[in-house]
């Protein structure tokens, strides 16, 4: 008996009949498909992504999901007629109907997918922060919606290196659209921001890591769109205390390390697994300086370890107004954990990084179906949290200090409840976890 066959026999087989939770969630999306086969393939694919099988390509999914075949799943990702962009717009509209506390930010980040060979669309020897080095991989730029206690993916787009955009034969073989030209990751992020605004996604700010925060073209693009932002920057980010060209520029690390210890204050921005997350912070109004010498006013924010802590200093830049409380900027900056968590969970739990085709359309359709499946879990968890809270404590109130906080995992075995970030998370039994309920 082969090792793979033995593994398949040990893993739970998905039910032949669609689970009611999946069927109900997917029913509104049937309008995206002209044929019944498409809706059936959609349900089987989503059911497969929720299965415990560690390898989630079309062949392995068909081995644990009855009533389908690898070719039918391949067909869903490639040749079947449906518009993944329309389906994603419908998915986002549904998530926006959830009644939540609001105060959202849009997060932007990229992630890498290790690949062998050179034929998968977008694959190249390139740097990826996921691996921390140059490797043979694909890279996507991603937009994510994040409230204090609820978050979900908005959109994703593959980064196509210049070598790909300038090779017509390679593009044709990978079915890359002709209108896709070379764009930097920052340009893709701005395009995804424009898409999110077209979808009517409310948000208070844009939040990114230093790969985007250190890019003046990206920051200028945000400001030209009248976007508020809080972005991480590196130690050599250049600022000036005055707005005239005669005022000297300084690196942010040099400027903040000259500040006296009494100028720093300890802030707690959210509850962690081992207690409140805290650090020392300082904020100074100054000007960021572009390469051409143009100066833009904003907040320089420094973070360093508090007493009894270790770790490196961190720096942030924001264009919020001078009256903005520092704790608000700090809390926004630290919401980036949501998108990092999504990258990890979508890959480890839902097989986002396991698409084995080579085509542009297949790659993006798989990504949209991963986001759809993740959204199913978000909706189930949101409903479960509301029902649990309604039975136990009455209507949901973000300001209620006795309401349990949301746990960090959607796909895992722990489901928790919304509420004040000072409260402890509630761990529900395994049988109440959305994914466990769908796969048992």
Residue spans of the domains in the chain: they are 1-81, 86-342
Three-state DSSP class for residue 77:
helix
Say if residue 400 is exposed, middle or buried (CB neighbours under 10 Å; 0-12, 13-18, 19+). Answer: middle
Structure tokens, 84: 């993944």
Composition of the chain by helix, strand, coil, percent to 5: 40, 20, 40
Query: Rounded to whole angstroms, how far apart are CA atoms 407 and 419?
Result: 10
pLDDT band at 280 (very low <50, low <70, confident <90, very high): very high
How confident is the model at residue 428, as a pLDDT? 30
Strand-pair partners of 239: 250, 288
Alpha helices in 203-336 (DSSP H): 210-213, 216-224, 252-257, 326-333
Closest CA to 407 of 153, 149, 102: 149
Least confident of 27-31, 75-79, 201-205, 308-312: 308-312
- What would the mean pLDDT of 199-227 be, rounded to a whole number? 97
The secondary element (H helix, E strand) that includes residue 287 is strand 275-289
pTM above 0.85, yes or no: yes
pLDDT band at 419 (very low <50, low <70, confident <90, very high): very low
pLDDT band at 15 (very low <50, low <70, confident <90, very high): confident
Q: What is the pLDDT of residues 328-375, one digit of tens each?
A: 999 999 999 999 999 999 999 999 999 999 999 999 999 999 999 999
Closest CA to 279 of 226, 224, 316: 316
Top pLDDT among 179 and 409 is at 179
- What would the mean pLDDT of 118-144 be, rounded to a whole number? 93
How confident is the model at residue 332, as a pLDDT? 98
Unique residue bearing structure tokens 């085709």: 357
- For residue 77, give every residue at least 6 positions away whose Cβ sits within 8 Å of its Cβ, in sequence order, or none: 58, 355, 357, 361, 362, 365, 366
Unique residue bearing structure tokens 């979900």: 152
**Which CATH class for the 86-342 domain?**
alpha beta
Query: Rounded to whole angstroms, how far apart are CA atoms 137 and 115?
Result: 5
Least confident of 8-22, 26-40, 263-277, 321-335: 8-22
């Amino acid at each position: 008996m082969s090792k793979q066959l033995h593994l398949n026999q040990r893993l739970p087989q998905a039910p032949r009949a669609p689970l009611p939770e999946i069927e109900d969630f997917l029913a509104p999306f049937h309008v995206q498909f002209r044929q019944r086969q498409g809706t059936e393939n959609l349900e089987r694919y989503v059911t497969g992504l929720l299965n415990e099988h560690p390898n989630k390509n079309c062949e392995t999914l068909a081995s644990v999901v009855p009533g389908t075949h690898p070719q039918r799943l391949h067909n869903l990702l490639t040749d079947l007629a449906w518009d993944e962009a329309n389906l994603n717009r419908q998915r986002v509209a549904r998530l926006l109907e959830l009644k939540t506390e609001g105060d959202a930010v849009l997060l932007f980040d990229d992630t890498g997918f290790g690949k062998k060979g050179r034929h998968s669309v977008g694959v190249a020897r390139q740097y990826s922060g996921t691996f921390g080095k140059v490797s043979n991989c694909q890279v996507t730029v991603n937009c994510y919606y994040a409230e204090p206690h609820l978050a979900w993916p908005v959109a994703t787009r593959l980064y196509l290196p210049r070598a790909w955009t300038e090779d017509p034969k390679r593009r044709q073989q990978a079915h890359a659209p002709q209108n896709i030209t070379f764009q930097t990751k920052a340009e893709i992020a701005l395009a995804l921001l424009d898409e999110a605004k077209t979808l009517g996604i409310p948000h208070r700010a844009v939040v990114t890591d230093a790969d985007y925060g250190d890019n003046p073209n990206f920051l200028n693009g945000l400001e030209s769109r009248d976007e508020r932002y809080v972005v991480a920057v590196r130690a050599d980010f250049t600022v000036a205390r005055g707005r005239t060209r005669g005022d000297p520029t300084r690196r942010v690390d040099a400027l903040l390390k000259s500040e006296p210890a009494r100028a720093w204050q300890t802030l707690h921005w959210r509850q962690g697994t081992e207690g409140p997350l805290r650090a020392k912070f300082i904020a100074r109004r100054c000007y960021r300086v572009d390469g051409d010498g143009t100066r833009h006013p904003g907040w320089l924010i420094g973070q360093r370890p508090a007493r009894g802590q270790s770790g490196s200093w961190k720096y942030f830049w924001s264009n919020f107004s001078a009256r903005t409380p520092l704790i608000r900027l700090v809390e926004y900056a630290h919401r980036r954990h949501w998108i990092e968590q999504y990258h990890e969970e979508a890959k480890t739990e839902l097989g986002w990084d396991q698409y084995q085709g080579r085509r542009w359309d297949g790659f993006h359709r798989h990504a949209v179906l991963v986001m759809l499946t993740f959204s199913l879990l978000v909706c189930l968890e949101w409903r479960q949290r509301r029902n649990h809270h309604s039975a136990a404590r009455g209507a949901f109130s973000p300001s209620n200090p006795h309401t349990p906080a949301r746990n960090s995992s959607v796909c895992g075995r722990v489901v928790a409840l919304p509420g004040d970030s000072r409260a402890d998370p509630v761990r529900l039994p395994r049988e109440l976890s959305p994914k466990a309920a769908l796969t048992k």
